[in-house]
Structure 1
């Protein structure tokens, strides 16, 4: 069954249970309820620039854009946001390639010492790679510190793999890159190749709520479940490896572009989850917000579909079936687009 397969492929060797919903936001809502139920605590820690959904609980965790919250009044009580590691713009990073996660020290040194008792915190909700926040890839130290804090205080780690999971990063789940084993995982988007399905996976000793505590009428509908099983089969038969290989090629080619395009400030990502941050000046790192919008429009007219994320980052997330030749075409189009913008041949 799909539940058995998800229990098998998600990180961790413990016996697991699976809750099925219809979407990513439902998977997160289930994770919040489960964390409260399992711990008897009622507060959560989330991160600035995070996106976890638009229903009441998940929106309370979301801190991506003001428009997503505006007009909806008070949200879920007990959610506190802290900084997420953003190495490209880290004020404390003195040497490239090193990391002293001062942003995470905020949790213990500031939060727990001033306004929040760790004994009240049910879970820390995080994206292994921030999606809407700018395709930000944290350093491995982030996960080491998260694990230390969670184990020290008995706080559950809740991984939102809705966008980063299901082979997108070149592994089945993004947390595998960082040897992180969360307590609860939320999955959706690519799980059923476009059909509505979300899943929340946790060890049986955590997901031990009584029958009827949580449910969804159409959650786990058989059509979506069959699609998910077939999707996983295709992922395991080569699409994950393809994402890793083509993603590596694409990132290498993009860095070559950066050598001759000063508007490219940073390139980051894993597999086929890649962000290209655009700046007006590489030294000051001034955000090129309008250039990003111009790039999306120009690329569209040339046959390349892009999305934005963060304030000034291009999001590259092609289908996992993309090949190296198609990736090269995308790079050539981006080269044209950046050249036009830098020579001001595109209206901003």
Structure 2
């Protein structure tokens, strides 16, 4: 199927975008049903299950969403809800709400939809009667896994395991993945202190842990970074430092917090300044490790994101992470790379840490979101030494492994990592052009693959941009103090980029 094109009237910004993106754009004066000021690239082969553009029928939230908000508000807190969705009608890169508004989704459920809404391959999987029992029955995997589980984990998760790792522990979500990864690091560290890979705990260890006392509950710590986000469960919150709303009123732990580099963008234009900033932060990391050991709270592990997503899409160079990995080795700390948000292909490589070029990048790599299931990969020595030490009732869901197998098949068959790199380049070039056109509004465009962001002049303007973009049929998300982040599905193509950029340009022109 091929489709026509609808574009904004030509402006200098549009021409600049056209040059930057290298698109040959057709200018047509027509309108999609209910859709205002929409733009696309030259006619291209469209996925036959994707829509051809946004279509807005009501303000958002519309009347039906508002009624549902009131209904649900009698049951639970609804302050964070944007609107209610019609997932049956959502397709590809487009999310449809209960009022019939169809929006180009460049946020994808907080970066967690890998191959778009209602992908035919996943529908086919659901329709296969051989998979019925996997969807109907959810076993307690730690004690009663299905017979197919080893093969399915091998076919799904182990087929994309990070370099040097052949073990994976499944979990349900990002927070519980990190929470249990922390436990694994503490167990590993204490076993080292006891002098072996499987030493016996003492009677004092066993009795003191029951009353939350040392030595059974040791005073160990995990070093994290300011701006990092690792989850909202109690242990993860001690390493989360992105927004006060996550942490307010929750007791926490006295663990070290290092500064994360605050780099200048584009990175290639500020190599000297950025190198000095990274050196400063690495020096502080080492100093904190020494100070916390002196305090009697040794650092058992370091946790870091390849790109600080929730905290503002903060980047660091491969050299920074290589040196951080070496510091962890030097001080006997486990090195935990949190790929919950960056994993699954959105940066143009399957794992963002692949850009570091290390054969031994980490001791633990956690994942969730685009991987559809949660969990963490780990080195052999971080295997729990006894049953029930890393445990909960479900420990994941076998049906999600089936979905992941098919998602990986689609990624390989359609060469989606190359698609992400191509679309990401077009998106970033377009953001560069827009920040040149609107320097009072935009700055510091940055990204890897389609995992991109741009800073807005202030938080209030960012809110206006997000709402105006939504009114025109584009869903975006914020991060950090004043950034907008872009988190499309892996099937987001160059013509989707052109469509988005022209709508975004229209929003910015209204605020200039």
TM range (shorter): 0.7 to 0.9
How far apart in 2 are the matches of 1:198 and 1:223? 12
Please point out which of 162, 186, 193 is paired with 1:11.
162
Match of 2:332 in 1: 154
How far apart in 2 are the matches of 1:3 and 1:223? 11
Match of 2:50 in 1: none
Contact 1:2 1:228 in 2 (8 A): no
Please point out which of 368, 371, 381 is paired with 1:188.
368
CA deviation after TM superposition for structure 1 residue 78, in Å: 4.3
Q: Does 1 or 2 have the higher relative contact order (CA < 8 Å, sep 6+)? A: 2
How far apart in 2 are the matches of 1:144 and 1:64? 24
Please point out which of 26, 35, 40 is paired with 2:185.
35
The yes-or-no answer on 1:220 pairing with 2:396 is yes
For residues 220 and 113 of structure 1, do their structure 2 counterparts lie closer, same or farther at Cα, with a shift above 3 Å needed?
closer
Q: Which has the higher strand share?
A: 1
Match of 2:45 in 1: none
Which deviations, in whole Å up to 9, do the C-alpha atoms of 1:286-305 show, x marking residues without a partner? Answer: xx111111110110011110
> Which structure has the greater CA radius of gyration?
2
> How many residue pairs are counted as aligned between the two chains?
322
SS in 2 for 1:258: helix
The yes-or-no answer on 1:311 pairing with 2:481 is yes
The yes-or-no answer on 1:106 pairing with 2:257 is no
TM-score, with structure 2 as normaliser: 0.60
Which deviations, in whole Å up to 9, do the C-alpha atoms of 1:140-175 show, x marking residues without a partner? Answer: 221122012011111111011001000011111100
The yes-or-no answer on 1:23 pairing with 2:200 is no
Using the TM superposition, name which of 142-151 and 229-238 deviates more: 229-238
Please point out which of 240, 245, 248 is paired with 2:417.
240
CA deviation after TM superposition for structure 1 residue 239, in Å: 1.7
* Mapping of residues 170-185 of structure 1, within 5 Å: 170-180=348-358, 181-185=361-365
Contact 2:384 2:390 in 1 (8 A): no
How far apart in 1 are the matches of 2:319 and 2:160? 24
CA deviation after TM superposition for structure 1 residue 12, in Å: 2.0
How far apart in 2 are the matches of 1:3 and 1:43? 31
SS in 2 for 1:200: strand
The yes-or-no answer on 1:299 pairing with 2:469 is yes
The yes-or-no answer on 1:259 pairing with 2:436 is yes
CA deviation after TM superposition for structure 1 residue 185, in Å: 0.7
CA deviation after TM superposition for structure 1 residue 270, in Å: 0.5
Contact 2:158 2:168 in 1 (8 A): yes
Please point out which of 117, 122, 136 is paired with 2:314.
136
Please point out which of 305, 314, 328 is paired with 2:498.
328
**Residue ranges of structure 1 left out of the alignment (5+ in a row):** 280-287, 343-348
Contact 2:221 2:297 in 1 (8 A): no
For residues 313 and 86 of structure 1, do their structure 2 counterparts lie closer, same or farther at Cα, with a shift above 3 Å needed?
same
Please point out which of 336, 342, 350 is paired with 1:164.
342
Contact 1:129 1:135 in 2 (8 A): yes
SS in 1 for 2:463: helix
How far apart in 2 are the matches of 1:219 and 1:112? 32
Contact 1:123 1:157 in 2 (8 A): yes
The yes-or-no answer on 1:97 pairing with 2:97 is no
Contact 1:44 1:78 in 2 (8 A): no
SS in 2 for 1:61: coil
Which deviations, in whole Å up to 9, do the C-alpha atoms of 1:265-295 show, x marking residues without a partner? Answer: 111111111011112xxxxxxxx11111111
Contact 2:264 2:270 in 1 (8 A): no
Aligned Cα root-mean-square deviation (Å): 1.9
How far apart in 1 are the matches of 2:316 and 2:445? 13
Match of 2:136 in 1: none
SS in 2 for 1:265: strand
Instruction: List 4+ stretches of structure 1 deviating above 3 A.
Output: 112-119
How far apart in 2 are the matches of 1:245 and 1:164? 17
**Residue ranges of structure 2 left out of the alignment (5+ in a row):** 1-150, 191-217
CA deviation after TM superposition for structure 1 residue 97, in Å: 2.2
Which deviations, in whole Å up to 9, do the C-alpha atoms of 1:29-61 show, x marking residues without a partner? Answer: 111000001111721100111111111111111
